[in-house]
Amino acid sequence: MSIIDREELLQRVLLAVLSVERVEDGPLVAPVWYEYRPTGQFLLLVPSWSPKAALMRRWGRASLCVYQDGEPQRYVSATGSVEVRELDEAECYAAMLSMAVRYEGHERGTEAAGRLAQDPVSLVTLTPHRWHAQVF
């Protein structure tokens, strides 16, 4: 897959699968919403109290896979360093609104952001050091 194709895929509204190292059980793997920036970074929002947030703070790294079903099936995976920053109330609402509208549309996204922003949220910035992309 070319870099242009990779960038196009990552701009689509797809779920990603996050993987974070966990010593006792093998990796924690969970679906997440993401936003991909032209700078090559992924932005994720996770509950500040969640195991995902704690593990990323502990290890400072994670992997993410974005998969497109249908024709052609293709995916992009990225592994890299993460920065986890807790958001204040105003930042939390703005970030949740942006992400929820991206995935749910304006009306449902605005409603979801109001609900979701009530819990403490951390902004995760994943900066890839290793990429893999493939078309099946």
For residue 13, what are the contacts with CB-CB under 8 A and spacing of at least 6? 102, 103
Stated pTM of the model:
0.91
Query: How long, in residues, is the chain?
Result: 136
Per-residue model confidence as pLDDT tens digits over 66-111: 999 988 899 999 999 999 999 888 888 899 899 999 999 999 988 8
Looking at residue 70, what is its pLDDT? 84
Q: What is the pLDDT of residue 89?
A: 83
pLDDT band at 17 (very low <50, low <70, confident <90, very high): very high
d(CA 92, CA 8): 27
Residue 55 belongs to a domain with what CATH number?
2.30.110.10
Contact 66, 74 (CB under 8 A): no
More reliable by pLDDT, 113 or 6: 6
What range does the domain containing 33 cover? 3-135
Residue matched to tokens 């958001």: 87
Our count of domains for the chain comes to 1
